[in-house]
Amino acid sequence: MNSRHAVLGRIRAALADVPSEERPEDVPVPRDYRRSHTAPGEDTVTLFAERVADYRATVTRTDRARLPDAVAAALTARGAEHLALPAGFPVELLPAGTWQWHPEPLDVPALDALDGAITLAAAGIAVTGTIVLDTGPGQGRRALTLVPDYHLCIVYAEQIAADVPDALARLDPRRPLTFVSGPSATSDIELDRVEGVHGPRTLDVIVVNPTPLEPRP
């Protein structure tokens, strides 16, 4: 309590030049920056997919009907068999097959033994290629998307915000949030980015269109 008083007292003494009647909001903060750096009419979903892929994550686009097939294709490509399944994940999205779904609760050693985790997301950010997790339904505790080496994340197109300001406005700061932009990476050696350190070294993102995609030739 002493130090609290001392520090606050020193702050007030240091700010002797600030008029006592000045309120925080009296200090002007201009807000002339753009709410979004997308071009007018730009397809934010396509931009999101491109920007996520820039981090060397893999992005697939699908629609609701074909989502289980897309999940199956991703898991097959990665050879992932044992997957953490967060509470509240819609089981109808899971493909039929030999995959082992491990529901919560999962302790750390159990998570460490799995191949990966499949989750939904709370939001996406197009300009930065970011997915945001808020531990809500279908996302699991933070450890779920951290300990296993592979993360398969499903983002609905309508969840994708154009840019950071829009995304933050959609999120609840009282929940623990994790902003994920590509797989774990480091720039610590010669300031050159390399992917893959402590977090999941592989990130797959499936973007789901609300309306059916055109059948591909």
Partner 1 sequence: MSDRGVVWLGSPSFPDAAREALKDTQLRANLKRATSTIRTKRLAVASELDDWEELRETAAAIKRRTARHLDHYLVQLEESVTAAGGTVHWASDAAEANRIVTDLVRATGEREVVKVKSMATQEIGLNEHLAEAGITAYETDLAELIVQLGDDRPSHILVPAIHKNRTEIRDLFTAEMGHWGQPAPEGLGDDPAELAEAARRHLREKFLTAKVAVSGANFACAESGTVVVVESEGNGRMCLTLPETLITVMGIEKVVPTWSDLEVFLQLLPRSSTGERMNPYTSTWTGTTDGDGPQAFHLVLLDNGRTDTLADTVGRQALACIRCSACLNVCPVFERTGGHAYGSVYPGPIGAVLTPQLVGVENAASLPFASTLCGACYDACPVKIDIPEILAHLRAKVVEADRRPLKPQALAMKAAATVLDSPRLLATAQKAAAIGGRAIARKGRIRRLPGPLHGWSDTRDTQAPPAESFRTWWRKNREGDR
* 63/195 with CB nearer partner 1: 195
Q: How far apart are CA 41 and CA 182, in angstroms?
A: 26
**Sites for partner 1 among residues 136-155 (CB under 8 A):** 141-143, 146-147
x/- string (CB under 8 A) for partner 1, residues 75-94?
A: --------------------
* 83/161 with CB nearer partner 1: 161
Q: How far apart are CA 112 and CA 79, in angstroms?
A: 16
Q: Report in angstroms how near the CB of residue 31 gets to partner 1 at its nearest.
A: 6
- 120 contacts partner 1 (rule: CB under 8 A): no
* 65/197 with CB nearer partner 1: 197
**Sites for partner 1 among residues 35-74 (CB under 8 A):** 37, 51, 54-55
- 113 contacts partner 1 (rule: CB under 8 A): no
Q: Which of 68, 93, 164, 209 binds partner 1 (CB under 8 A)?
A: 164
Q: Which of 43, 50, 69, 112 binds partner 1 (CB under 8 A)?
A: 112
Q: Which residues of 31-62 are buried (b: 16+ CB within 10 A; e: fewer)?
A: eeeeebebeeeeebbebbbebbeebebbbbbb
- Tell me: cis bond preceding 173? Omega within 30 of 0 counts: no
Nearest by Cα to 93 from 109, 75, 77, 110: 75
Q: Which residues of 63-99 are buried (b: 16+ CB within 10 A; e: fewer)?
A: beebbbebbebbbeebebeebbbbeebeeebbeeeeb
* 34/90 with CB nearer partner 1: 34
Span interacting with partner 1, options 61-69, 152-160, 168-176, 208-216, rule CB under 8 A = 168-176
> Could you give the 3-state DSSP secondary structure of residue 61?
strand
Burial class (CB in 10 A: 0-12, 13-18, 19+), 216: exposed
**Sites for partner 1 among residues 172-211 (CB under 8 A):** 173-200
- 30 contacts partner 1 (rule: CB under 8 A): yes
Q: How many residues bind partner 1 (CB under 8 A)?
A: 76
